[in-house]
Amino acid sequence: MGLQVEMLRSSFERVVELSPQVTQRFYEILFARFPQAKRLFGRHSDARQEKMLADALAAVIDHLEDAPWLTATLRGLGGKHTSYGVTEEMYAWVGESLIATLAEVLDEEWTPELQSAWVGAFTAIASLMQSGAREAKAA
């Protein structure tokens, strides 16, 4: 996947250090920019949803060098999200909101190199999830 593993890990650790509730801020940004996404999030409490996202992000960061794990896990996650009503266009919403959240938290520490690394990582993640979503729809 050609990811900037150390840059992604160190910046993610820094984000969590600066903003332990970063996933709460992510959802605030997501729903402010894309209010139509809010309807997809009624199954769990906000706190539970935030924890699930934090756990998923941490797991992906932990497995950046494990392509088989990433492929299987993210395709499965994409298939699961299809049943929630997630569409292809929504991945861009999430990516935009995630990058905005990271940039906001890191503030002056956010660089063009970090942005490029995170956009690349999210693009790869979204691609695997979308592949799983297409497989689930075809099944």
Interval 31-41: pLDDT, tens: 999 999 999 88
Q: Where are the beta strands (DSSP E) in 11-91?
A: none
Q: Please tell me what DSSP assigns to residue 44.
A: S
Domains observed in the chain: 5-138 (1.10.490.10)
The rounded distance, in Å, linking the Cα atoms of 132 and 135 is 5
φ and ψ at residue 19, rounded to 5 degrees: -145, 80
Are the CB atoms for 132 and 74 separated by under 8 Å?
Answer: yes
Residue 36, Cβ density class (10 Å: 0-12 exposed, 13-18 middle, ≥19 buried): exposed
pLDDT digit string (tens) for 53-112?
A: 999 999 999 999 999 999 999 999 999 999 999 999 999 999 999 999 999 999 999 999
Which tokens sit at 5?
Answer: 């593993």
Q: What is the pLDDT of residue 3?
A: 82
